[in-house]
Structure 1
C-alpha cells in the first residue's frame, strides 16, 4: 500500500532530529571544549576573529538546532544552519578538495553532506504534522 502524504508528513520529526540534535550538541561542545572544538579549532582552521565567531556559531547551532528538534520555524531555522555548513565547507573541505582531490574530500565531507541534504529537505518540506509549526498553524 502506498504511503499517503499525511503518513509521510507525520514522520518528518525523525528527519528533524538528525540535524537538530547534531547541531545542538556540536554547538554545545564549542562552549564545553573551547580549545579543541570552539575558539581553538576556529583559530586552527584559519577563521578570522575566532574569539567572536566560535561562540556565535555555537549559539547559532544550539538555538536553531533546538528549533529543528521541536519543529518551530523549521524552514527559517535551516537557513542559518546552511550558512554554517557553507562556511565549514569553505574552511575545512575546500582545502582538502584542492590539495587531495574529490574522493578524500568527500570522505571527510560525508557527514556534512548528509546534514546539508537533511537541511535542504526540511527547507522544502517544513516541520511536518508533529511539529510546533503545525500546532502554530492550527491556532493562527
Structure 2
C-alpha cells in the first residue's frame, strides 16, 4: 500500500477534535506506563495475567506514546490508528469482558466506557484519516 493511501484524508476540520481526544489519551497513558509501572505498566499486565509483562508493559507504553503523538499531529493517522485499535481490543477482552461474570453487564459497560470510546474513535480515524488540520492533508 502506498504512502498516499496511508496519508489520504477528508477535508473535515472537526476530525481534529477526535484526533485531540485519541492522541492526548494514548500519549498520556503511554507515559504513565513508565511513570507508574507497577500500577499502569508491567505490574498491571502481570496482575491481569498477560504473558511477559516486563516486556509487554514498556512495549505497549512506547506504542501508545508513538501512535498517540502521530495522531495528535496528524501524521500517518490511519497507520497509527491500527496498533491503538489492537491495544483497545485486547484491553476490552482481557480486563472488561471478565467483569461480566463478576459484576454483570452494567458494571462492565460502566468500566469500559473509555475503552469503547477510544476504540470507536480510533476506528473513525482509520476510516477517515487525519482531517483538514493534519500533516497528512498537507502531504
TM-score (norm. length: structure 1): 0.89
Structure 2 residue aligned with 1:105: 108
Q: Partners in 1 of 2:114 and 2:96 — Cα distance?
A: 12
Deviation at 1:82, TM superposition (A): 0.4
Q: Partners in 2 of 1:104 and 1:61 — Cα distance?
A: 26
Mapped pair 1:67 → 2:74? no
Mapped pair 1:48 → 2:61? no
TM-score (norm. length: structure 2): 0.89
Structure 2 residue aligned with 1:114: 117
* Aligned-CA RMSD value: 1.2
Deviation at 1:32, TM superposition (A): 0.7
- The equivalent position to 1:87 in structure 2, one of 64, 86, 90, is 90
| SS of equivalent residue, structure 1 residue 36 | helix
Runs ≥4 in structure 1, deviation > 6 angstroms? none
Deviation at 1:120, TM superposition (A): 1.1
Deviation at 1:124, TM superposition (A): 1.1
Point out which structure has higher relative CO (alpha carbons under 8 A, 6+ apart): 2
Q: Partners in 2 of 1:92 and 1:83 — Cα distance?
A: 14
- The equivalent position to 2:134 in structure 1, one of 114, 131, 134, is 131
Deviation at 1:98, TM superposition (A): 3.1
Deviation at 1:109, TM superposition (A): 0.4
Q: Partners in 1 of 2:105 and 2:118 — Cα distance?
A: 19
| SS of equivalent residue, structure 2 residue 62 | helix
Count of residues paired in the alignment:
130
- The equivalent position to 1:30 in structure 2, one of 23, 28, 33, is 33
